[in-house]
Amino acid sequence: MIQAMGSALTTIGLPVALGIIMFGLGLSLTPGDFARVARYPKAVIVALACQLVLLPAIAFGLVVLFGLPPVLAVGMMLLAASPGGTTANLYSHLFRGDVALNITLTAINSVLAVFTLPLITNLAIQYFLPGDDGLGLQFAKTVEVFVIVLVPVVLGMLVRWWKAGFADRMDKPVRIASVVILAVVIVGAIVSNLELLLANFGILAGITVLFCVLSLTVGYVAPRLLRVDRRQSVACSFEIGIHNATLAIVIAQTVVGSIEMSLPAAVYGVLMFFVALGFGFLIRGRGTAAESAAGSAAGSSVDAPAERRPTS
């Protein structure tokens, strides 16, 4: 009975939880968040290139390196194709990133995911499961992805446009509701699939942690190498490094119809919080040290002329 309840929570609750999360995202968005691309063109282009090109390549390399079974391999690629979630905004705020840039990237990624997520998932299925015609995101299922991802966001934006004050008042309650519902659903999903999860946790823990570390590192280092300022690089790091695991789980279980395919996202969704927290403290420490060194250098350059001033 407990397993049946857990299954029902997963089937019904996960899409509902994701819908509330995406609706909450829409409540915080305005058309200006999309227009902001013109203010941060380099940061946006670098972040999107990392998100859409580098991360799927990294995930593919890790899948081959770890020798994952085919269904789990597709699940990893589905996770890599998932956009950043609203959690990225929270981490960016905690570690002094440019949250406005995060919001812009989340908005753009949510739109692009409607096209890129089915494409990457289908390519992964063709490569790892070439003889399985039952899986895949054909046109009808791609429409489901569109409904799951974009419709709640658009509704939230319409509410903000129509009643901005109401949207502001509802922002916090919607966030709290989404966290509570999601927590209940995740517990239900774990209970209903405990044996399957435990059987695969060992093989998935290492690859998901490494993927998270590499995603965060690429998201921070690539912009810095291309002279994007530090606050924007922190924002890019969390946007690229923190994937929307809930979206990947919903697509795997309710759209593709494979619980096993959702396991990489489920394991990642638990471990990612700790990895991202540690990474945040690491780059914050480096940023503080760099700022102190810059301050000392500036102080020395100001004092130097005084030392060379001739005495009468």
Does 311 reside within a domain? no
Does 303 reside within a domain? no
Lookup: tokens for 247:
């979206």
Q: What percent of the chain has pLDDT over 70?
A: 78
Burial 113-151 (b: 16+ CB within 10 A, else e): bbebbbebbbebbeebbeeeeebbbeeebbebbeebbbe
Lookup: tokens for 277:
């927290």
| Number of domains making up the chain | 1
Does 186 reside within a domain? yes
List, for residues 94-125, the tens digit of each pLDDT value.
Answer: 898 988 888 888 888 888 888 888 889 889 98
Does 18 reside within a domain? yes
Angle at 191 between CA 241 and CA 124, to 5 degrees: 45
What backbone torsions phi and psi does residue 246 show, to the nearest 5 degrees?
-60, -40
Which residue carries 């699940």 as its tokens?
75
List, for residues 182-241, the tens digit of each pLDDT value.
Answer: 677 667 666 666 777 787 888 899 999 999 999 999 999 999 999 999 999 999 999 999
Task: Find the CATH number of the domain harbouring 174.
Answer: 1.20.1530.20
Does 199 reside within a domain? yes
Whether the pLDDT of residue 66 is over 50: the answer is yes
| pLDDT computed for residue 264 by the predictor | 93
Does 298 reside within a domain? no
Does 215 reside within a domain? yes
The answer to whether residues 75 and 253 touch, using CB atoms and an 8 Å cutoff, is no
List, for residues 148-186, the tens digit of each pLDDT value.
Answer: 777 888 888 898 888 888 888 887 787 777 767 667 766
Lookup: tokens for 3:
């397993």
Does 43 reside within a domain? yes
Q: Which domain holds residue 237?
A: 2-292
